[in-house]
Amino acid sequence: MIKTDVVIIGTGPAGFTAAIYCARANMLPIVLEGHEPGGQLTTTTDVDNFPGFPDGISGPVLMENMRNQAKRFGAQFLQTMAIKAKLNTRPFIIDLENGEQIEAQTVIISTGASAKYLGLAHEKELIGKGVSACATCDGFFYKDKIVHVAGGGDTAIEEATFLAKFASQVYLIHRRDKLRASKPMQQRIFNHPKIEIIWNTIIKELKFDNQGLNGLLVENTQTKETTVRKTDGFFLGIGHQPNTAFLDNQITLNEQGFIVTQNGPCTNIPGVFAAGDVQDPYYRQAISAAGSGCMSAIKAEKYLEEHGRI
Ligand code: NDP
């Protein structure tokens, strides 16, 4: 059994920042890195809006820097996931995928959110064979190809504009006649020479052969007309699902599945805090995630001070 003052579950700007603050407060944090160390920023290219980098910084480098900073102060990283959490006792018990257990005085949950899929038949088995939820990871493979992106929010537009750097043509399929994306993001695609928006359209079926995806069966929601659109790639840009399955409903979630926090990073369980996208359906920025990671560390330290160790 590993014993610690604080276990930080998940790494991204929130988890790493929490780790930096906890480590500097001498709490010797154990950080569970999970399957995607560094989180969503490791799949982006340049981050231009993180303060302190006037010329921008690459997402993976920013994450590596944060990790090294936490390590410098004594944070310990484990390359495993939390699969179960027992939060109705103190110390809290976290079961790890590698079979070990952690006994923690406080817990910081910063597991982020993962891309949503449409739930179409064969969608998951076609990942890597024409279906993707990460343009920055896979866009390069679609040089001079035709791709379709689903969604009408900022994520979809970001995916579409990124893909347009490689693909010969990008179609954005949106289920309504109005984009949800912010106005500045919308400006990026209106009049983009390589991007066309297909309005009022839903995807009903993925068409494929043994080479992978080759088309989408779509339906116009107004006319109910269905057509098959030829495509080499299909990218999901329909939002993200917070990663909370391992909590098994012990923590209060909102109707979209995000952890409900109050007074900054506090969950409904004293001693358990949440930071970053797992509790933020709105801002979802690296800097806001980092800020909430800092708050969760300070609250965890305060909690230990007030309640002592058990
Ligand atoms: P959003 O929830 O904002 O948008 C999701 C989009 O996908 C909507 O247009 C929605 O359609 C569509 N959609 C959802 N489910 C389905 C479905 N089953 N079938 C078809 N379409 C579907 O998620 P985002 O990930 O785009 O953005 C989330 C937050 O992150 C926002 O606050 C955004 O501003 C922020 N963000 C900011 C970025 C930036 O500033 N660079 C980049 C990415 C995200 P409908 O509109 O009809 O509901």
- Whether ligand 1 lies within 6 angstroms of the CB of 240 is answered as yes
Q: How many C-beta atoms lie closer than 10 Å to residue 239's C-beta?
A: 17
Q: What's the pLDDT at 41?
A: 83
Atom of ligand 1 nearest to the CA of 202: 20
Final residue belonging to a domain, choices 236, 261, 283: 236
**Amino acid identity, residue 282?**
Y
Q: Which residue has the tokens 């993976």?
A: 60
Query: Using one digit for the tens of pLDDT, what is the confidence trace for 220-277?
Result: 999 999 999 999 999 999 998 999 999 999 999 999 899 999 999 999 999 999 999 9
Residues 127 and 200 in one domain: yes
Alpha-carbon separation of residue 141 from 36, 129, 146, 163, 228 (angstroms): 21, 11, 11, 10, 23
Q: Where does a domain end: 219, 236, 253? A: 236
- Are 150 and 231 members of one domain? yes
What is the phi/psi pair of residue 120, to 5°?
A: -75, 155
Provide the token pair at 120. 């179409």
Q: Could you tell me if 148 and 105 lie in one domain?
A: no
- The torsion of the CA quartet 159, 112, 122, 208, rounded to 10 degrees, works out to 20
* Proportion of the chain above pLDDT 90, given as a percent: 85
- pLDDT confidence of residue 5: 97
Please say if 266 is a catalytic residue: no
Task: Give CA–CA dist 170/182, Å, rounded.
Answer: 20
Same domain, 295 and 272: yes
Angle at 18 between CA 10 and CA 81, to 5 degrees: 15
Statement to judge: residues 40 and 86 lie in one domain: yes
Q: How many residues does the chain have?
A: 310
Identify the burial level of 295 via C-beta atoms within 10 angstroms of its C-beta, where 0-12 means exposed, 13-18 middle and 19 or more buried. Answer: buried
Kindly list the distances between the CA atom of residue 9 and the CA atoms of 102, 142, 194, in Å, as whole numbers in the listed order: 11, 35, 41
Per-residue confidence (pLDDT) for residue 47, from 0 to 100: 82
Entry pTM:
0.79
Q: Please check whether residues 297 and 230 belong to one and the same domain.
A: no
Q: Indicate which CATH number applies to the domain containing 289.
A: 3.50.50.60
- Count of other CB atoms within 10 angstroms of residue 113: 24
The per-residue pLDDT of the chain, averaged, comes to: 95
Q: Which has more confidence, 127 or 295?
A: 295
Report the pLDDT value the prediction gives residue 291, as an integer from 0 to 100: 98
Distance 165 CA to ligand 1 centre (A): 21
> How many helices (H) does the chain have, and how many strands (E)?
6, 19
Both 201 and 258 in a single domain?
A: no
Do 260 and 150 lie in one domain? The reply is no
C-beta 82 within 6 A of ligand 1: no
Range 296-302 average pLDDT: 98
Backbone angles phi, psi at 23, to 5 degrees: -65, -40
121-155 per-position pLDDT tens digit = 999 999 889 999 988 878 989 999 999 999 999 99
Task: Output the six-digit token pair for 125.
Answer: 């088995």
- Structure-token pair, residue 218: 């779509």
Residue 242: CB within 6 Å of ligand 1? no
106 and 130 belong to one structural domain: no
Range of the domain at 282: 2-114+240-307
Name the band, by pLDDT with cuts 50, 70 and 90, for residue 165. Answer: very high
pLDDT at position 137: 77
Question: Do residues 216 and 140 share a domain?
Answer: yes
Q: Are residues 300 and 273 in the same domain?
A: yes
Q: How many domains does the chain have?
A: 2
Asked if 208 and 262 sit in the same domain, the reply is no
Work out the average pLDDT over 107-120: 95
pLDDT of residue 40: 78
Is the pLDDT confidence value at 161 over 90?
yes
Of 184, 201, 236, the residue at which a domain comes to its end is 236
Sequence letter at residue 147: V
* Burial environment of residue 225 by CB neighbours within 10 A (0 to 12, 13 to 18, 19 or more): exposed
Examine the residue annotation and report whether 22 is marked as an active-site residue of this protein: no
